[in-house]
Structure 1
Amino acid sequence: MTPDELDRLIALRHALHSAPELSGAEQETAARILSELQRLNPDQILTDIGGHGIAAVFDGAAPGATVAIRCELDALPIQEESSLSYISQTSGKAHLCGHDGHMVMVLAVAEEMARQRPASGRVVLIFQPAEETGQGAKAFREDTKFAEIRPDMVLSLHNLPGLELGHVSLPVGPANCASRGARIRLTGRTSHAAAPQDGRSPALAIAQLMQKLAALATGGALDEDYALTTLTHATLGEPTFGVAPGVGEVWVTLRTATDRKMQELIEAVHVMVESAAADLGLGHMITYHDVFDACTNAPDAVQVIEAACHAGAVPITLTESPQAFSEDFGQFGKSARTAMFWLGVGESHPQLHNPDYDFPDALIPIGSGIFIRAIRQLLG
């Protein structure tokens, strides 16, 4: 990558940063990415996959495997707080997870593939919508267009505050936790506040559930038995002094290192809610939102990333503990061998989703270089 090419990619990253779009609404972002890809003349471009998703295909000269590199299009519903010259121009929306940087790194891979196609197989560059809500990867894979590009291996990365700038953390096995939001609704019957005994209030059940749900968390190491329950919201009746409430809700985020443990946690929550509702004669309903399956790295994909880091003298640490963060990248593991690695942005860098977070431009050649070396290793 020449200095001029890097400067152009940085300028593009800043432009994407200033124009964020939320999950499922990435129309202009996708249009900008499409324009950049068309300039490079890939052998095939598929659009509107699972929403605003895009896939660019670069064919090799000989038959071989299909290797995909995946990044994300969406931003977050958070107000940015910074003095950046390219700060978000849309109130309440910002690229505070680094997806703007991820997109540009994959475009850098596209630049290299345009210069020199793989010797065999094909490279598919995936620009996926709606990662932040956990809906994008599933919709992308379930789209009928996905059958045209179904990869044998999919590689991805995420930047990581707290890890030294430019260093790689590569999980061996579990890579990201499973998580989902459980919205628990209890319904009874209102009554006059002077005669609460003539209604059925969910207040006691909600109070008990908040304690019991929190107690389901095991804490400790991020191993196969790890479980975290985070209470995020609760409501009870209406804001009035004259009515004993007839409805209430508790929202809790469930998080585990494995899908097996997640299923156990879900079953425990159902038993707990059913018991609390039955004791007080309440109706109950549980719905799930922002569902993320666990991500697990395949051994051969891990070896590819490790070799690509060593070949480029990128510092790398192998780890057996997943990140507590969730990622819908795990969906691609249902039909391909996958690996996600973490690329450090600095030990004192603002955390992901902080209002003053920004992706470091110095990572663009590092991340794209790892992907390019991985592709050359696999496809020549």
Structure 2
Amino acid sequence: MTLSNRDIVELTEWRRKLHQRPEISGEEEKTAADVGAFLAPTKPDRLMRGLGGHGLAVFYESGRPGPTVLFRCELDALPIMECTQAPHRSQIPGKGHLCGHDGHMAILAGVARGLACRRPESGRVVLLFQPAEETGAGAAAILADPRFAEIAPDFGFALHNFPGLRLGHVALKEGAAACASRGMKITLTGRTAHASQPETGISPMPAVSRLMPELTALAAGGALSEDFSLVTVTHAAMGEPAFGIAPGEAEIFTTLRTLQDARMEALVARADALVAETAGACGLSFDIAYEDVFFASDNDPDAVAHLRQALDHERISHAPGEPMRASEDFGRFGASAKSALLFLGAGETHPALHDPEYDFPDDLIPIGARIFLRTAYDILG
């Protein structure tokens, strides 16, 4: 289950080219085209383009009946300015592959090279390059695309590199793998007034002052148990940047996070009720919108067993580890396939995900490809 030295060099060079040309969620058209061109020499049996937006599904068939095994990675980058001095640093101001999705694409391209040399003996492998993971919209769009029924995976696998974990070591466990989360956008509307006569208007200031601490107090975090929940205020704005106007409108962004989907529904209900009660007490109208909705990622025991077998065969160290506080929209695939998400260590002192100094460790490309290739062959022969 190894790639040649030439494969590793070419995959690394390609990863760094992707890194230089990041495209954020919903804008991944050129990245998807680049993936299709790079994988063309592996002679896939089918390319499904434009899936759920700019998604790309790449099929490798055995020609015999058997399960469909899906491996998924992400196409999108982040709207964050990269601050590394790497020769391959982003050439697009304000955008960067600071979560490692370029490396995840290179890993799946490595899997494609392995499958080009040896097709599975039964069933088929589908490599899915998914758009818009960072906003939580991509997996939902893929699953809503009628053509996803033509894929209908029996198993689904994904990985995410994980700074803070020893380089090349894998964290993998059954059950909860990553949190559910959603962005709550609160708009409060009163009436502006002259700053010399604030009593003639209705200011949202008292409501904002109350809501920020009370929303946070709904869920204080703590240990990553089934009861874990967390509310984080991420943005607040009120009125115009002027001295002569008492504000009439305010906006609060907050992120709700739980380890279980059922807990999320309860947390949303409590947050909605708090906003409604506070707005009413302050004489304000209000609106609530939810964006960046991620379901919890929950690892199926059978899928985990296949990954563990592959890790043992490849002699890659692994341990259960803890669930990830962050969210991953791979969790949505659990409704249509036995799925599992593993975490591949990026190094104990490596810059964190979404840090402007982050860059994907290229040493993980052959390791990730080996894990997925072995998993495919263990299931399909």
TM-score scaled to structure 2, two decimals? 0.98
Q: Per-residue CA shift, 1:116-171, capped at 9, x if unaligned?
A: 11111111000001111111111011111111111011000000000000000003
Q: What do residues 79-129 of structure 1 show as CA deviations (whole Å, max 9, x unaligned)? A: 111221111111111111111110011011111111111111111000001
In structure 1, C-alpha distance between the alignment counterparts of 2:318 and 2:78, rounded to whole Å: 29
Which amino acid counterpart does residue 348 of structure 1 have in structure 2? T
Match of 1:177 in 2: 179
Letter in 2 for 1:106: L
SS at match of 1:278: helix
- For residue 209 of structure 2, the aligned residue among 201, 207, 210 is 207
What is residue 372 of structure 2 aligned with on the other side? 371
CA–CA distance in structure 1, aligned partners of residues 211 and 8 of structure 2: 53
Provide the residue aligned with 1:136 in structure 2.
138
Q: Which residue does 1:97 correspond to in 2?
A: 99
> Is 1:353–2:316 an aligned residue pair?
no
Partner of 2:69, secondary structure, is: strand
Which of 297, 300, 325 aligns to 1:298? It is: 300
Do structure 1's residue 76 and structure 2's residue 78 form an aligned pair? yes
Which residue among 306, 309, 313 is the counterpart of 1:307? 309
- The one-letter amino acid of 1:68's match is L
C-alpha distance in structure 2 between counterparts of 1:178 and 1:338, whole Å: 16
Identify the residue that residue 334 of structure 2 maps to in structure 1. Answer: 333
1:194 Cα offset (Å): 2.4
Aligned residues: CA RMSD: 1.0
Q: Secondary structure at the match of 2:292?
A: strand
Residue ranges of structure 1 left out of the alignment (5+ in a row): none
Alignment of 1:226-245 (within 5 A): 226-245=228-247
Distance in 1 between the 2:41 and 2:56 partners?
A: 15
**CA distance in 2 between partners of 1:132 and 1:353 (Å):** 11
- How far apart in 2 are the matches of 1:16 and 1:351? 20
3-state SS in 1 of match to 2:274: helix
Q: Distance in 2 between matches of 1:78 and 1:270?
A: 30
User: How much has 1:330 moved relative to structure 2?
Assistant: 0.8
Q: Does 1:323 align with 2:338?
A: no
Structure 2, gaps ≥5 residues long: none
Identity, % of aligned positions: 50
Q: What letter corresponds to residue 172 of structure 1 in structure 2?
A: E
SS at match of 1:64: coil
Deviations 1:49-106 (A, max 9, x none): 0111100111113201100000001111111112211111111111111111100110
Matched length: 379
- Name the residue aligned to 2:188: 186
AA at the equivalent of 2:380 = L
Residue deviations 1:300-328, cap 9 Å, x none? 00101111111101000013x31001111
| Separation in 1, partners of 2:170, 2:134 | 22
**Structure 2: how far apart are the matches of 1:82 and 1:248?**
36
TM-score of the two chains, using structure 1 as the length reference? 0.98
What code does the residue aligned with 2:277 have? S
